[in-house]
Amino acid sequence: MTTLLHLNVSPRGETSHSRRAADWIRQKLAAQHAPLTVLERDLAADPLPPISAAFTDANMAGAAGLLKEGEVPPALALSETLIAELEAADMVLLATPMHNFTVPATLKTWIDLVVRPERTFRSTRQGKVGLLRDRPVLAVVACGGPVREGPGSQQDFLTPYLKYVLGTIGLTSVEVLRMDNTARGPEYIAQGLEHLQTWADATLPGLVVPTEAAA
């Protein structure tokens, strides 16, 4: 049995291009990895609370080794739940828009809650080392405007940031599908869907899903 963690970020519901594209990919994954168990978290419909002083203090205490073994302060309970969902997943499917050239605030909060020192990564003299086992991460990113070279184009800070921050905790197998110009009409949306199918045909069959024994 394969477990998929499906994160939705867009607040646009059924009109969201990233949600619809990710739902299509999810159907393909269900056929490819049956039976598929899905853990779904909607960060728009059920937004996470912002980082608090209590969370920061408890997080720093854990990083400093000041907590008893197995102790989970109330301020870290939600973070532990999110990390447990990530640990339980064999694959991650992330559907998000690009907001102001990078990740939306709701997704950034999820990242801040799962990227924790001495819990999901460890700092060494050689740099940070991820403590989670690697697994495929598929990110579907919808951009209203053009993200490419040339006049009038905008930069993509989302993709390099997402790969870097997930790599920090051990998730290095990140594949990003970017659908550009989704706010410019049906012609561009059709091009995005065609790109989606080409990307899926090239990417999904080659996914290496870790087995329980390998974990």
What is the model's pLDDT at position 214?
44
What is the model's pLDDT at position 192?
83
CA gap 59, 195 in Å, rounded? 41
CA gap 205, 17 in Å, rounded? 23
- Write down all domains in the chain, each with its CATH number in brackets: 2-206 (3.40.50.360)
The pLDDT tens digits for 137-195 are 999 999 878 887 667 778 999 999 999 999 999 999 999 999 987 777 788 788 888 88
Annotated binding site for FMN: 10, 16-18
Annotated binding site: 10, 16-18
The pLDDT tens digits for 38-94 are 999 999 999 999 999 999 999 999 999 999 988 999 999 999 999 999 999 999 999
Look up residue 176 and give its amino acid. V
Are the CB atoms for 97 and 11 separated by under 8 Å?
no
pLDDT at 215 exceeding the cut of 50: no
Q: How many CB atoms lie within 10 A of CB 64?
A: 10
Structure pTM?
0.93
Are the CB atoms for 196 and 178 separated by under 8 Å?
no
Cis bond leading into 50, ω under 30°? no
